[in-house]
């Protein structure tokens, strides 16, 4: 089966600019996650979707980050305006939705904010 697809692979922007990331999960996976991974750290959950509804966005900085999953398939994560500390790899993951099943990750988008 095809894996989780993410684009772009790399993005460099200046602070205060906006940026968007795209994720296409594995076909049929109901649950989708966005994680932020700062260099040298483990991934940190930003938001979790179940189909097209938000399950948990408690860790999402909502003053600048937004995410949507229209039609319960693809998802976009947006940052506006970006700050220097947003430099990180943004990982998308999906799972069928059954309890205690592993997350399947994409290769991420590496964002550099200058």
Partner 1 sequence: GESVGLHLPTLSVQEGDNSIINCAYSNSASDYFIWYKQESGKGPQFIIDIRSNMDKRQGQRVTVLLNKTVKHLSLQIAATQPGDSAVYFCAENGGDYKLSFGAGTTVTVRA
Determine, following the binding rule CB under 8 A, whether residue 104 of this chain makes contact with partner 1.
Answer: yes
Cα gap 81→84, rounded to integer Å: 10
- For residues 10 to 49, the per-residue mask of contacts with partner 1, x marking binding by CB under 8 A and - elsewhere, is ---------------------x-x------xxxxxx--x-
Of the candidates 1, 8, 13, which has an alpha carbon nearest to the alpha carbon of residue 77? 8
Check residue 28 and give left, alpha or beta (phi > 0: left; psi -120 to 50: alpha).
left
Which residues, 6+ apart, have CB-to-CB distance to 9 below 8 Å? 107, 108, 109, 110
Total of chain residues touching partner 1, rule CB under 8 A: 24
Determine, following the binding rule CB under 8 A, whether residue 102 of this chain makes contact with partner 1.
Answer: yes
Of residues 33 and 65, the one with the C-beta less far from partner 1: 33
- What are the residues binding partner 1 (CB under 8 A)? 4, 31, 33, 40-45, 48, 55-56, 91, 93, 95, 99-100, 102-108
């Amino acid at each position: 089966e095809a894996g989780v697809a993410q684009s772009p692979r790399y993005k460099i922007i200046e602070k205060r600019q906006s940026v968007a990331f795209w994720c296409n999960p594995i076909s049929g996976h109901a649950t989708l996650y966005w994680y932020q991974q700062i260099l040298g750290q483990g991934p940190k959950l930003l938001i979790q979707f179940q189909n097209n509804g938000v399950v948990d966005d408690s860790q999402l900085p909502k003053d600048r980050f937004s995410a949507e999953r229209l039609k319960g398939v693809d998802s976009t994560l947006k940052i506006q305006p970006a700050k220097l500390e947003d430099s990180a790899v943004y990982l998308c993951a999906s799972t069928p939705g059954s309890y205690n099943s592993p997350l399947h990750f994409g290769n991420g988008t590496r964002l550099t904010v200058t």
